[in-house]
Each structure stands twice: as structure tokens, then as C-alpha cells.
Amino acid sequence: MDYFLLLIGLLCVIIGIIGSILPALPGPPVSWIGILMLYLCKDIATNYWVLIITLLIAIVIGILDYIIPAKGTKYFGGSKYGIWGTNIGLVVGIFIPIPFGFLIGPFIGALVGELIYNSQEKGRALKAATGSFIGFLAGTFMKVLVSLLFFGLFLVLVWQNRAIWF
């Protein structure tokens, strides 16, 4: 049973890292579930402080992930069309086989979204798309960083309790 929880936990933290880039998966919360799975192993003493603090971090990052791109778009004069375009562009960019599609897609999506909103102001659309893209990059960077930190914590916990499995 402990091996199963270890493998499920490892899978969760890896999916959490991937989910930090993909818009469909909430990266840090999934990584947190991996840490929780590890603490569910019967021979590992549960550290509630670690679980509570990491859960709060995952929740805050999850909330900021929605706020930061919207603020970036708003700061640069964009609309909700730019935010939606960023997300749609990310999904399309991931599946189109071009180099760095996951970076190019959100920018082009935001630009197209802003042009749909108002095709007369191309300069404003470019500026808003840039803001939406910067907000997307900042949010993604935060999620990846937190998910990697959770992965590191997972590895430390496995190492500290290695006698259980090895």
C-alpha cells in the first residue's frame, strides 16, 4: 500500500509540474495532492504544519493565477477577449508542432482576441496582447516554481523516510 501511495504521489507532483504550463490542469494543487499522498503512508509521521502551509501556498497561487493575467491585460489596456485569446492560443500552441508553440500561441491568441474586440486600434491590440502575454508568463512562472518546490519537498520527504521503501 505504501508503494502505491508513493507512486501516486510521485505521479501527482509530476502532473502538477506539467499542469503548471497547461491551462486545463491546476499545477500546484495537484502537486500538493502528491505531498498529501506521501503523508498518507502509514509509516510516515504526518506533519500538519507542512500540509497546511503548502496547501495555503497552493490556494494562493491558484487565486493569483487568475488575477495576474487579468491585471496584466487591464494594465496594458486590454479586454477579456485578450485573456480568452491567451488561453485559447496556449492550447492551440501546445498542439501545433512548431518550436515554442506554447509561448507563441498565447501571444498570437491575445492579439487575435484584442483585434476581435476592436479591429480598428491595432496598436492598442498589440499593447494589450503584450500585457496579457506578460501576465500569462508571470503566472506560469509562479506555478512552475511552486510545483518544482513541492517536487523538491516530496523528494526530501522520500529521502528522509527511505527506510520505509528501500
pTM of the model: 0.81
Flag the least confident range among 27-41, 56-70, 93-107: 93-107
Spatial separation of the C-alpha atoms in residues 150 and 21, rounded to whole Å: 15
Q: Calculate mean pLDDT across residues 16-35.
A: 88
The alpha helices in the chain, defined as continuous H runs, are 2-19, 27-39, 48-75, 80-95, 101-117, 122-160, 162-165
User: What pLDDT does 156 receive?
Assistant: 95
Q: Calculate mean pLDDT across residues 138-158.
A: 94
Q: How far is CA 133 from CA 44, 57, 147, in A?
A: 42, 24, 21
State the sign of the Cα–Cα–Cα–Cα dihedral 114, 119, 120, 126.
positive
Written as nine digits, the cell of 164 is 520505509
Q: Does the pLDDT of residue 113 top 70, yes or no?
A: yes
Question: 24 pLDDT band (50/70/90 cuts)?
Answer: low
Question: 82 pLDDT band (50/70/90 cuts)?
Answer: confident
